[in-house]
Amino acid sequence: MYPHLQYFSIFAVNVLFFLSCAIAYPKNNLVNSNTQAQNNHAQQPQNNQQSEIKRLNAEAIAASQQGRFTAALQRLQKALVISKELANSSWEAVTLNNLGRVYQNQGDYSQALSFFFTALRINKELSVKETTPGQAYTDLGKTYSNIGYLFDIQNKPELAVFFYKHCLINREKVRLNPSVFSAPQPDAYSITVAQTYRFLGEGLLKQGRVAEAQRTIDLLKVEELEEYLHNVPGNQRTAKGINILPIEKPIKQQLDQTLDNAVVLGKELTKLRNIPPQKRSPQQNQRINQLVGNQQQLLEAFNKFITSPAVTAQIDQISRTARRQNLDLENINEIRDNLARLPQKSVLLYPLVLKDRLELVLVTPDSPPIHRPVAVTREQLNQTIVTFREALTNPSRNIKKPASQLYAWLIKPIENDLQQVKTQTLIYAPDDQLRYVPLAALYDGKQWLVERFNVNHITATSLTNLNSPRTSTLRVLAGAFTRGNFEVALGNRQVDFSGLPFAGREVESLAAIIPQTKKLLNDDFSPQATVPQMDDYPIVHLATHAAFVVGKPEDSFILFGNGDRVNLTDIGTWSLPRVDLVVLSACETGLGGKLGNGEEILGFGYQIQKTGARAAIASLWAVDDGGTQALMNAFYTTLSSGKFTKAEALRQAQIALINGDSQAKNQDTSAAVGSNLTHPYYWGSFILIGNGL
């Protein structure tokens, strides 16, 4: 079954000999025995020397980006000498990675691979010393990413995927100890970790490895949360990383064995280099010279091996065979089991936005994962999203054209699949600017999507408990900001937020529907008075301004009735394990018309989950407060019947406004907004994030 592995094993012996003997520095003899230079550096205090290594690496990177490769290599040569004198293996690996990047920028891919692989050996040795996966595992994963990217830009996707997966595996081990990620990260890597995950997902989809792609896309969202919020902990589900398929394991075992043996055998070279040159014996100097003399030949042999037709054929066989392996992946079986246990026929939809196309991944309870590529560029998609949002926020505009176009890209390609499963609920994990799009407001030419499906947004399946039931008793803590005016700094500008006249009526209507409602208004609706009471109620309803803005988590906030703000970071400190639902009925995104990649929406959903609350309802733009009252009346009336899940209750409320159901409105609401609430401006803004039951 593995016809080329014998070749792999025979050649690995030669590679092991090379790794046990030397760390080679080809062509330019970047490492030398310049005793005078070494002695000069030895006079410097250690902290000054480390600062010098850091400075030289930074200057080299800048020089390489400007095309001054000779200058970059000269600085890295100096940094490498100093790091070896200090026996600072971490900075040695950083410098080696940067040497690889310089050669990569020059188009000398063979030399780049040599340096990356040597850095990999050092990072592997450092990771062995860690009792708990930490910085060395992080650096090991990133060096795997450098190798993957090197093969990616050479149009060798199978090898790129193989090494990218190892980046993900090591990264997810560290995520259980996320404080490691907050340590200063040297610039030594070709792409970011999030880009690695995205490129891996893209590569897997191109090879038809849909289950692995779904897993990668899911973990991409966790990584995006980490980059936005920081210190986002993983769990036992994320720590599993991504499966190595049975057909991949022989190659992985050979790679791991090569590195493990290199860690053991490489200690000889380390010991020799730790001996001051003036104290080395002739035999020791001869041994070092022998290692340096053999390095070029061995490195060239390794480069030829990893790119040989034999290994390429084996990797290609993995690509062809992996589709059948997907059915056995533990992650997909777990997701399918969770979907099957939901009360409605539910599917999981993952879009992945790429530069030249959109990829749709659909997971159903009883079929293999489905993959549908869509021919639309990121630029075209984002332009349509902007047009869609502009029409959504102006009821006088015709919304159906952009809504139909987005439907054609997001739903039409999987329409037959949804019909075959008899789908009732779409569990949706949007990507990039699609996070600003309410899926419910897409239009199929005859009706809105919400008229056909429940829509349940999530952050990531690996972070969401889809099956946790809600409490049977409805009690609500309701706060409202109804009067006054507060000026809030948003970036470099000031924005006025006025009281919401209908917020008080909204809360009064809520109390009429659910008698066990406690009301907090204006000054009484302060963080000090409100937050300590939240966990005493299954539902927390906040009728006040909230803004999710592009930037740092501290820029997004909830405004309380006394003028105090709680930002997105602070929300994560709340403890709400007994809360089933948090409702923000007057929040908005994209203030000032600026859209990012939606990380602030992803971050809000995660922070609510982090509190222990099961779900949140929020709006994607500032809705007419009379229309909001109408929607909330219908939502709570439906929910209080006890016959519907949260996702179903929201859908029924939205349909009530579309159909002009008078029960969704009262006299005050009708007078304020007229009798027509059918435009998605009034009902499409609200999305449910988290557990939809």
As a residue count, the chain comes to 693
User: Domain boundary at 255, 283, 312, which?
Assistant: 312
Distance of CA 382 to the CA centre of its chain: 19
Residue 317 falls within a domain, yes or no? no
**Structural domain of 636:** 476-685
The stretches of 107-248 forming alpha helices (DSSP H) are 109-128, 135-153, 157-174, 193-206, 210-229, 236-239
Portion of the chain with pLDDT greater than 70, in percent: 85
User: Domain boundary at 285, 312, 339, which?
Assistant: 312
Residue 324 falls within a domain, yes or no? no
Beta bridge pairs of residue 486: 497
Q: Is the pLDDT of residue 684 over 60?
A: yes
If asked whether residues 306 and 368 sit together in one domain, one would say no
Q: Is the pLDDT of residue 548 over 70?
A: yes
If asked whether residues 35 and 63 sit together in one domain, one would say yes
If asked whether residues 294 and 347 sit together in one domain, one would say no
Q: How far is CA 376 from CA 10, 105, 355, 410, 534, in A?
A: 47, 30, 9, 11, 44
Q: pTM of this prediction?
A: 0.89
If asked whether residues 425 and 574 sit together in one domain, one would say no
Domain of 405, CATH number, reads 3.30.420
- In terms of Cα–Cα distance, which of 124, 222, 123 is closest to 181? 222
Residue 566 amino acid letter: V
pLDDT for the residue 35? 38
If asked whether residues 376 and 507 sit together in one domain, one would say no
pLDDT (tens digit, 9 = 90+) per residue, 379-420? 999 999 999 999 998 888 889 999 999 999 999 999 999 999
pLDDT (tens digit, 9 = 90+) per residue, 438-465? 999 999 999 999 999 999 999 999 999 9
Q: How far is CA 60 from CA 14, 21, 27, 146, in A?
A: 33, 28, 18, 17
Residue 650 near residue 688 (C-beta atoms within 8 A)? yes
If asked whether residues 636 and 675 sit together in one domain, one would say yes
Least confident of 248-262, 287-301, 591-605: 287-301
Q: How far is CA 226 from CA 137, 221, 458, 460, in A?
A: 17, 9, 16, 13
pLDDT for the residue 616? 97
Domain of 681, CATH number, reads 3.40.50.360
If asked whether residues 287 and 346 sit together in one domain, one would say no
DSSP code of residue 592: G
Better-scored residue on pLDDT, 105 or 291: 105
pLDDT for the residue 670? 40
Helix (H, G, I), strand (E, B) or coil at 425: strand
Residue 693 near residue 469 (C-beta atoms within 8 A)? yes
Residue 379 falls within a domain, yes or no? yes
Residue 67 falls within a domain, yes or no? yes
Residue 492 amino acid letter: N
pLDDT for the residue 247? 74
pLDDT for the residue 263? 67
If asked whether residues 292 and 177 sit together in one domain, one would say yes
Domain of 269, CATH number, reads 1.25.40.10
If asked whether residues 180 and 121 sit together in one domain, one would say yes
If asked whether residues 450 and 584 sit together in one domain, one would say no
User: Domain boundary at 281, 312, 343, which?
Assistant: 312
Q: What are phi and psi of 631, to 5 degrees?
A: -65, -40
Residue 23 falls within a domain, yes or no? yes
pLDDT (tens digit, 9 = 90+) per residue, 81-128? 999 888 899 999 999 999 999 999 999 998 999 899 889 989 998 998
Give 592's pLDDT tier (boundaries 50, 70, 90). low
Residue 690 falls within a domain, yes or no? no
Residue 691 falls within a domain, yes or no? no
pLDDT (tens digit, 9 = 90+) per residue, 247-284? 777 777 777 777 776 666 566 767 787 788 889 898 88
Residue 209 near residue 323 (C-beta atoms within 8 A)? yes
What is the count of structural domains for the chain?
3
Q: Is the pLDDT of residue 528 over 80?
A: yes
Residue 199 falls within a domain, yes or no? yes
pLDDT for the residue 25? 41
Burial class (CB in 10 A: 0-12, 13-18, 19+), 279: exposed
Residue 49 near residue 86 (C-beta atoms within 8 A)? yes
If asked whether residues 336 and 363 sit together in one domain, one would say yes
If asked whether residues 424 and 485 sit together in one domain, one would say no
